[in-house]
Amino acid sequence: MRRRDVVRGMSGGLLAAAGAALLPEAVAARRASQRPPAARGVPPLKITDIQTILTAPNGIRLVIVKVLTSEPGLVGYGCATFTQRALVVQTAVDQYLRPFLVGRNVDEIEDIWQSSYVSSYWRNGGVLFNAMSGVDIALWDIKGKRANMPLYQLLGGKVRKGADCYYHASGRDFAEVEDNARKGMAEGFRHVRVQCAVPGLATYGARSTGATDRTEAIGPTNPGRIWESAAYVRMVPQLFEHLRTTLGDEVELLHDVHERVQLNEAINLCRALEPYRLFFLEDPFPPEDNGYFRLLRQQTSIPLAMGELFNTVQEFLPLISERLIDFIRVHISQIGGLSPARKVQALSEFFGVRTAWHGPGDASPVAHAAQLALELASYNFGIHEGGRFPPETREVFRGCPVIENGYMLATEAPGLGIEVDETLAAKFPFPPGPPHFDYSWGTTRRRDGTVIRP
């Protein structure tokens, strides 16, 4: 063999070997062999117990679910508050969900929700969903604590510094509503919900001026709290005329109809309110009349909010997908917790609908903290309701979110950032009963005795 052929063959072999060594697979394999072994994440934990905490630090019946884990001291808290049926939710948690879920892996949040959803065969009810919500939110709390992160970080991180809140201002007359609105504005709130009493009637959201002292049973032939919508529909535009004149245009004004008008009244009311530039008008119809929104949307440009009485997505999916509302108002515990709320938020974003989760006094600080975590990480956040916690509530729920200049801010503690002082919670038992619920629902009637919905 000639010397030149030998050299050429050796060169080709060396180049081939070098090329093989430089293949991506070979390079990746070599690098992987040089790395330390990857961590395998946190160890699995089990649910060891589920407990309910009943407390009413400011006279409102709150139901809190506490999930205990196989890691000593690691617990999570969730809100299961269904004020009007609190004791039934307690039974659902203690007698049904607890034995169903003890022993489950705390990380299996989605499967726990789905399996709990079908565990009673008949589903979709407010009692089951609130019980499930307590467990669901508590599991998210645990996940945040295990990651040593505030929950909003696990949901995608902040897209805003805080959640704009709206202040509640009501009164017996226009002047009192104005005075209370100014109090909220002085505290830094840029959004104010205004409600005014109608003389002689049991008006939602304002102190009643009608006679309510009745000792006999209320029924269709013996009405007590009386409501008629005609006087209300005439009054509300006058209220907004007064407030825009006295408060100016900078403050955002909201109003809750609370479903107490007929279709033609809702259309006329919306048209009359358009000049006053409401941030939104809430609940013009009850959920049973969802079909009316198609007609109302054609008649007015006023922003519409709806949803606090909804249970399942089938109820509000058409309102979102057909862009018939501007704000979705579902109550997070009423639809089953943070897991379904995340899906509602994502769905709404694609249709230009903003979130305005229902957050009245019977949404516990735990519920507000869960909403806040989602709001901080959601592009289509609209507004946060309320959120001012009285001193007794703050003492029971240590680590409540704080309000500064009208914004609700996260505490930056892991998980939801709230711990429940159970010893102090026990010092605020439910108000004695019966009744164990608000009797105004189901007893407010028209003058002819017809019960008002809701």
Q: What is the dihedral of CA 129, 132, 136, 138, to 10 degrees?
A: 120
CA 174 to CA 222: how far, in whole Å? 31
- What three-state secondary structure class fits 35? coil
* Nearest to 370, CA basis, from 397, 399, 332, 325: 332
Burial of 349 from C-beta contacts in 10 A (0-12 / 13-18 / 19+): middle
204 tagged catalytic: yes
125 is written with which tokens? 């009810």
Q: CB of 116 within 8 A of CB of 50?
A: no
Centre a 10 Å sphere on the Cβ of residue 423 and count the other Cβ atoms it contains: 8
Q: Is the peptide bond before 150 cis (omega within 30 degrees of 0)?
A: no
Centre a 10 Å sphere on the Cβ of residue 3 and count the other Cβ atoms it contains: 7
Q: Which distant-in-sequence residues (6+ apart) come within 8 Å of 11 by Cβ?
A: none
Task: Select which of 204, 232, 276, 407 is catalytic.
Answer: 204
152 tagged catalytic: no
Angle between helices 229-247 and 263-273 (to 10 degrees): 10
- What three-state secondary structure class fits 450? coil
Task: Select which of 191, 255, 258, 358 is catalytic.
Answer: 258
- What three-state secondary structure class fits 168? strand
CA 210 to each of CA 202, 382, 443: distance values in angstroms, whole numbers, following the listed order: 6, 35, 14
Q: Determine if residue 412 is left, alpha or beta; phi over 0 gives left, psi from -120 to 50 gives alpha, anything else beta.
A: left
Q: Which distant-in-sequence residues (6+ apart) come within 8 Å of 328 by Cβ?
A: 305, 306, 307, 316, 319, 320, 344, 348, 353, 354, 355, 356
- What three-state secondary structure class fits 200? coil
Q: What is the dihedral of CA 357, 361, 364, 367, to 10 degrees?
A: 0
362 is written with which tokens? 């019977």
* Nearest to 272, CA basis, from 260, 293, 255, 289: 255
Angle between helices 126-147 and 338-349 (to 10 degrees): 90
212 is written with which tokens? 């309510």
Q: CB of 344 within 8 A of CB of 310?
A: no
Catalytic residue positions, numbered: 204, 258
